[in-house]
Copies of this chain bind each other. A is one copy, B any other.
Amino acid sequence: MTDPIRPTDDGARRQARRLRDAARHGVLGVLDPATGRPQLSRVALLPTRSADLLMLVSTLSRHWTALEADPRCALMLDETTSGDPMAAPRLSLDARALPADKAAAQQDWLAAHPGAEIYYHFADFRLLHLEVEGGFLVGGFGRAFRLTRADLEN
């Protein structure tokens, strides 16, 4: 019985930032406002130049309603690999959802998500800024690291 959480080193910091910077999609975890249970959705993302990410959300989605009630959320980011998903590196982030300027981000968003051209301007689509508070990296089987926001900053 050994603690699988290792001291955070530069290799872990680099791997975590690489996963964050490569993220264009991820799984979002929020709290269901009716029950307090965890609730998961697939979301479209775009990393910012800091530790944070932008997320495009419809106000018709259930995660929008949940984030209005409680902005605390989590993200799971991983690489698509052809190997064993339990051996592949993945990063989970703790974040807080804040409003973001959709018009200002339009060019960057559509460069990363060209398919969104059709609906980016729809009134029910809002852009949120996910302010990252910390993270948890699994670098492979039994190799885990806790990360602060400072560890994740470029």
Q: Which residues of A contact B (CB under 8 A)?
A: 1-4, 25, 27, 29-31, 35-42, 44, 58, 60-62, 72-76, 78, 80, 84-88, 90, 92, 94, 115, 124, 136, 138
Q: Which of A2, A37, A76 has the most CB of B within 10 A?
A: A37
- CB closest residue in chain B, given A94: B37
- Main SS at interface, chain A: strand
CB of A115 within 8 A of CB of B84, answer yes
A145: min CB distance to chain B, Å? 12
Chain B residues, Cβ within 8 Å of A61: 4
CB of B42 within 8 A of CB of A78, answer yes
Chain B residues, Cβ within 8 Å of A2: 60
